[in-house]
A and B are shown apart, each in its own frame.
Chain A
Amino acid sequence: MGPKLPDGLARWVLEHLPYPFIGSTIVPLGVDLGECHDRHRNQVDAGSLLQELPPPSDDLLKMALVGADLFYSVMTYVFGLTELGGRRGVLSCYRLRDELGTRPEILLQRTLVETVHELGHSLGLVHCVVGECPMHRTLWAEGIDTKKETYCPSCLATLVKNGH
């Protein structure tokens, strides 16, 4: 089933989530990851996992955080997968670790930023050209380090316009 989520990671991310996600809570995943695990690839199928998540509701966003590596259909890997405006998504911290393994705090910050990224998608935000914005598409985990966990003014404006 691949690596487990590091202890305390979800808690740390939760405590650092910015507006408009302050006050979120952690609940157990409630999905058997083994059901979505591809033994041959040793990765979890992000598409199946997303389908397994409890249906979203109007007043609740759901974001599954997992330690296993994710793939999606013909994509060899994905950091995360979220239905655009669909209010639910998944994120893996697998590829977010500091490559040299010398700075554990890097994983925390990267997971936070990418959580905000996927949550943004779940609220209908698309990728943003602003390099520091969490909605900026980064192709490498190191690239996440240049992003902040707070939305840029135009992404925030879009959220407000959409009533969030």
Chain B
Amino acid sequence: MGSAVRMLIVDDERHVRTSLAAWFRDEGFDVETAASGKEALLQLGDRAADILLVDIKMPGMDGIELQQRVRKLAPDATVIIMTAHAAVETAIQALKDGAYDYITKPFDPEDVSRLVRKAAERYSLLSENRTLRERLEAAEPRLVASKGSPMDAVVEQINQVAVTDTSVLITGESGTGKEIIARLIHARSQRRFGPMVVVNCGALNEGVLESELFGHEKGAFTGAAGRRRGKIELANEGTLFLDEVGDIPAKVQVDLLRVLQEKSVVRVGGNMSLSVDFRLVAATHRDLEAEMQQERFRQDFYFRINVLNIEVPALRDRPADIPLLAEHFLQQFTQQMNRRIAGFTDEALGGLCSYRWPGNVRELQNAIERGVVLCRGGKLGVQHFPFLSAPAPDDQSLSSMEAAHVRRVLAAQGYNISHTAAALGIDRATLYAKLKKYKIERPT
């Protein structure tokens, strides 16, 4: 019951104390307030608190110090840090020190309610969730970027949207790492203890996608042998990530719009409406505005998913990050393959930095992986990145340019013939003919 939850609000600003106290009394909580860390500790001596809402910035003892003291005094109390947008990094530090969560001022009422409800709900499950959080933290994906990178703005946006619960549309070319952005949004959101459910909408045909998203009841169609919960249902209390949302057929867009409006889902072939609570994060490499003009994408659905937009820059637009990313992937793959490689030659690094990377970070990752496979010790040189070798300056013939281009695209596509042919806009037979003509072989 709500009345069992004892809350202590610690803030030096009176109006914050008053407003939050009113808010949580409405919730049925037993609320006390303190104007300073010192006062809070005195109060805790008299009356235990289940949840503490602590302002990070107070004169005298600040929120971080108070939290550390509370941890010793009442290790089972849940501490939630209140912070200004500018101090989110400090709040993240507080999380590492054991704070349960943080919330940024000014507060979105939805966020406050959900956060504290979850804190209250988890109260009896504290020990389990502590482990869970450590696991979540360890699994949080890493964004590699240099100081002053265009990715800084993306990170800022992630931190801003993470604490809200609105729909986010992530746009950017293929391979720019849109799913990592989505994972970070989830990992830094209040839903971090809930599930993050991913659906790749581009890979599925209409019928399969419907069943995947909405689930189905037993016997809903031929082959539906048992009941299946859809991804939407599974995303309850968490985040639903729709990758390649631009590929969703119009009929499924309508059904998804209904799910988003009604916050409930009906399984295919079912009649029971299940309420769902999730945050939608969608991603696409397509220009959805253009798709709308062509009437391939519904406007109402677009407005629903594109409440906030994060545009991920192409790798060529953040060249300063390339050496860091290359080093990051080199370490990753040398570790995985148990190889010893002493970095890159200057020439190779220069080549990697000036290359256009049509396949973005994913292409760079593939290239480094391939380079590590090819390299027999020493440093990675241009010879390990065949796509870097441009036609010789004294040979400007069309055929030699074509050969170089085919080589480059082939390497960029990881030597996959179908993908390379598609990228070049030719069929496989034509590609094979060109490989033969230019004596291009897959490196071994």
Per the bound structure, the CA–CA distance linking A71 and B113 in Å amounts to: 16
B11-42 to A contact mask, C-beta < 8 Å, 1/0: 00001101110110111100000000000000
In the docked arrangement, what's the CA distance between A82 and B108, Å? 18
In the complex, the chain B residue whose C-beta lies closest to that of A83 is B22
**Total interface residues on B, using CB and 8 Å?**
25
CB nearest to A41 among chain B residues: B106
Cβ-based interface call for A139 (8 A): yes
Residue of B nearest to A120 (CB): B26
Which residue of A is nearest B16, CB measured? A74
A74 touches B105 (CB 8 A): yes
User: How many A-B contacts at CB < 8 Å in the complex?
Assistant: 63
Main secondary structure of the interface of B (DSSP, over half): helix
B25, B113, B114: the one within 8 Å of A84 (CB): B25
* Contact among B15, B110, B261, B300 for A73, CB-based, below 8 A: B15
The minimal Cβ–Cβ distance linking A86 to chain B, given in whole angstroms, is: 10
The answer to whether A126 and B19 touch (CB under 8 A), given A142-B261, A143-B263, is: no
Contact check, A126 vs B25: say whether CB atoms are below 8 A apart.
yes
Task: Give B238-264 interface residues, CB cut-off 8 Å to A.
Answer: 261-263
Measured between beta carbons, the chain A residues less than 8 angstroms from B2 are 126-127
Q: How many residues of A contact B (CB 8 A)?
A: 23
Also in contact, A139 and B110, with CB within 8 A (given A74-B105, A75-B23, A127-B26): yes
The docked-state distance in angstroms from the alpha carbon of A36 to that of B107 is: 20
Known contacts A73-B16, A84-B22, A100-B300: A142-B109 contact under CB 8 Å: no
B27 adjacent to A75 (CB under 8 Å): no
Give chain B nearest CB distance to A96 CB in angstroms.
14
Please encode chain B, from 71 to 112, with 1 for each CB lying within 8 Å of some chain A CB and 0 for all others. 000000000000000000000000000000000011111101
Query: What is the minimal beta-carbon distance from B236 to any residue of chain A, in angstroms?
Result: 14
Is B113 a contact of A137 with CB atoms below 8 Å?
yes
CB of B14 to closest CB in A, whole Å: 10
Contact partner of A77 among B23, B109, B262, CB < 8 A? B109
Beta-carbon contact of A73 and B262 below 8 Å: no
In-complex Cβ contact of A47 among B15, B105, B106, B263 (8 A): B15
Residues of B close to A139: CB separation below 8 A: 109-110, 113-114
Cα distance, A119 to B33, chains bound together (Å)? 26
With both beta carbons as reference points, the residue of chain A lying nearest to B3 in the complex is identified as A126
Least CB distance from B401 to A in Å reads: 54
A42 CB to closest chain B CB (Å) equals: 15
Q: Which residues of B contact A99 (CB under 8 A)?
A: 261
Apart from A100-B300, A127-B28, A137-B26, what are 13 other A-B pairs with CB-CB below 8 Å? A47-B15, A47-B18, A73-B16, A74-B15, A74-B106, A75-B109, A75-B112, A76-B107, A84-B25, A126-B26, A127-B26, A139-B113, A140-B110
- 20 residue pairs from A and B, CB less than 8 Å apart: A71-B106, A73-B16, A73-B18, A74-B105, A74-B106, A75-B108, A75-B109, A76-B106, A78-B109, A81-B22, A82-B26, A84-B22, A84-B25, A121-B26, A126-B27, A126-B28, A127-B28, A139-B109, A140-B263, A142-B263
